[in-house]
A and B are shown apart, each in its own frame.
Chain A
């Protein structure tokens, strides 16, 4: 990526983007029409390379650019969903053909993406994928099943991790493809969750076809590429929940943006509940009169201690990052801390709600929001890396503790014991 740190300052970037917006921003434009201007100018993704719709600016200037957009209510490029992971992966590992074909349509929001990594037989052990990629002529033929696929039913393209060589060790036999989701060999079915929502899908491949130019890397490098995608997923996990504040502004472009947000965010309506809704606790405690119960006061206080400490830990990590200091341990704890907060919040909501917590749906407290909290919180400690995996990551990467002896990484994958679920 082109770095131009020496030539740019916060003030100069602010002046540049402000001048450009003054000349170009027009809420009467169509959403895609406007975003094409952003692609041409590079202001939609200023940290991307100049040759690929960016301006090659250091990522730290994104805040300044975002502020200037927000100041006048200018709409940005499409930023939510798996498309951002696709873009990051393609920028890092894709060919010029991939960049040419996909990046612009990612920024304009014309294409929707999904991530085909997890399988019924490989959750935490994602490198144990058994979806097959077999070469026939110059094409790849895909068979198998993926799961937990957000937006698969809307997606044009999928980021696919599949096994192309069974005679080498687990991590060595994986390939990474871009899969056309709109083909007869791909079937998508919603997956109903314990909280009634169906935010994810199961995706079945029966002789699905991948053209040779849609391979992102050589067989054997699939895991490395997948790691890039996952790294961006973890980094963006917090942003996702706060993204997409639809504005009330009037105009064609805003209507189109609102529709896009509604579609993109549809699977996430219960995500605030999944985190435990700490924001509702004090109000509920007062409304229910439980604020006067000394035992419940202790439980509320425990929750507030956790949630504030967790928030301040994240602020510490960000402050260190802004100063350009190496990441300290405080940067790795957020996910685990959020599980603790969510569980304690669910406990407190139960105490506050009493017998009404036996009910669900519209007749239950807060139109079912409380009930939804109680049955959504278990997802927090599983989704995006279980608490157990987080602890392993912390202990191995931050605390430099040794790995458990491995029984599956040094033999041909075909000889590794595995679940009997697919292919």
Chain B
């Protein structure tokens, strides 16, 4: 297993970080999060095409850069660090992995080059109003219609669902149950019968929508009735990707809180000189570094197709969830009163920590999954 990043990867990280620091200061984050779309389409297109971000882990056969989850993880960690407001996770992680895992070669050739080139944004819609993340809870139906299919039902908590150009949807054959009868479909955002309602999100940097489907035209993606396995694989990849994004945010919170306590004077001395503050800062470092180790390990495990993967993926998500939120709680506390104000930036990451904790299953959920999948 790989335990360190190569020099090339470290250089890649630096260049992504420099670009994001320049393009996504918190003034820009605050500006974008206040909009309904949540990002600036032209600005994102430019940044994406300059750095080739959505192409990172798309194979070269589909006009991508052909890198692995290690490199994708680096991009996500840096985005988590800078709270970049862009439909990257929805496009490059959710939709792209689903297409890679489920699609036929012909479908990949049709869809992925456009994503790699940054011409379209995309997302994956699987959760419904229950908010559950498992395949069995999918109720949306797909019925054959001429050469294609019609979708009926509702999807919710869809990341960037209000802006995505292409929506990958998980739906089932009417009357089927559990993991049977599930298929992936692709839907054009302009399709008739598709309703898109933006949801007001606690974490304003992470936009979500509820999508309603009334006889919406859809194309089958991959094998009919065969989505359960590629969906399971997609979920594993998604949570590892999210864990990597999360540790980037946690690290940033930790660094900013540390910088603040070093500067803040009370009782005639820097509050960073009080042991109670120092102990907290040390604990934060332990939490964040351990979570980073788990996230990096899981990304390497994906690249190496490790046998322990399902358990390791859940371990990384559960560990990142606990570490990010705990770091956020400490970070607000270390800022004191000012940390609870709107003008201080800490709450932006606090909310991202909270949304990431819950998204795709919380720590309890993933600990249980991890136990089910643990090999011993």
Q: What residues of chain A have their CB less than 8 Å away from a CB belonging to chain B?
A: 282, 294, 297-298, 300-302, 304-306, 308-310, 312-313, 315-316, 318-320, 323, 325, 329-330, 333, 336-337, 340, 388, 390-392, 394-396, 398-405
Contacts and interface: CB of A to CB of B under 8 A. Distances in A.
Contact of B319 (A297, A305, A323): A305
Contacts of A404: 273-275
Nearest to B10: A325
Contact of A301 (B278, B279, B290, B368): B368
B9 to A, nearest CB: 12
Interface of B: 1, 3-4, 258, 261-262, 269-270, 272-275, 277-279, 281-283, 285-286, 289-294, 296-297, 312, 315, 318-319, 322, 364, 367-368, 370-371, 374, 376
17 contacts: A282-B376, A297-B367, A298-B364, A301-B318, A301-B368, A305-B294, A305-B315, A305-B319, A309-B319, A313-B293, A315-B1, A315-B293, A391-B282, A399-B258, A399-B281, A400-B262, A401-B278
What 7 A-B pairs come out closest when comparing CB atoms? A301-B367, A395-B278, A319-B3, A309-B290, A391-B282, A319-B4, A312-B293
Nearest to A311: B293
A315 B301 CA distance: 14
B296 to A, nearest CB: 7
B147 to A, nearest CB: 47
Nearest to B318: A305
Contact of A298 (B3, B297, B368): B368
A312 B273 CA distance: 31
A318 B3 CA distance: 9
B3 A316 contact: yes
Contact of A294 (B1, B312, B368, B376): B368
The secondary structure that dominates the A interface is: helix
A305 B312 CA distance: 9
B292 to A, nearest CB: 8
A402 B273 contact: yes
Nearest to B2: A319
Contact of B4 (A294, A320, A392): A320
Contacts of B273: 401-405
Given A304-B370, A306-B290, A312 B285 contact: no
B272 A402 contact: yes
B376 A333 contact: no
B367 A309 contact: no
A395 B371 contact: no
B281 A330 contact: no
Nearest to A393: B282
Contacts of B312: 308
A394 B273 CA distance: 13
A312 B298 CA distance: 10
B279 A391 contact: yes
Given A305-B315, A312-B297, A337 B278 contact: no
A300 B367 CA distance: 9
A391 B289 contact: no
Contact of B278 (A300, A315, A318, A392): A392
B313 to A, nearest CB: 12
B267 to A, nearest CB: 11
A404 B262 CA distance: 13
A316 B367 contact: no
A401 B370 CA distance: 37
Contacts of B261: 401
B55 to A, nearest CB: 28
A329 B289 contact: yes
B296 A316 contact: yes
Contacts of A330: 289, 292-293
Given A329-B285, A388-B279, A391-B279, A313 B262 contact: no
Nearest to B300: A312
Contacts of B283: 336, 391
Contact of A336 (B262, B275, B286): B286
A400 B4 CA distance: 25
Nearest to A306: B290
Contacts of A388: 275, 279
Given A304-B370, A392-B278, A399 B285 contact: yes
Contacts of B3: 312, 315-316, 318-319
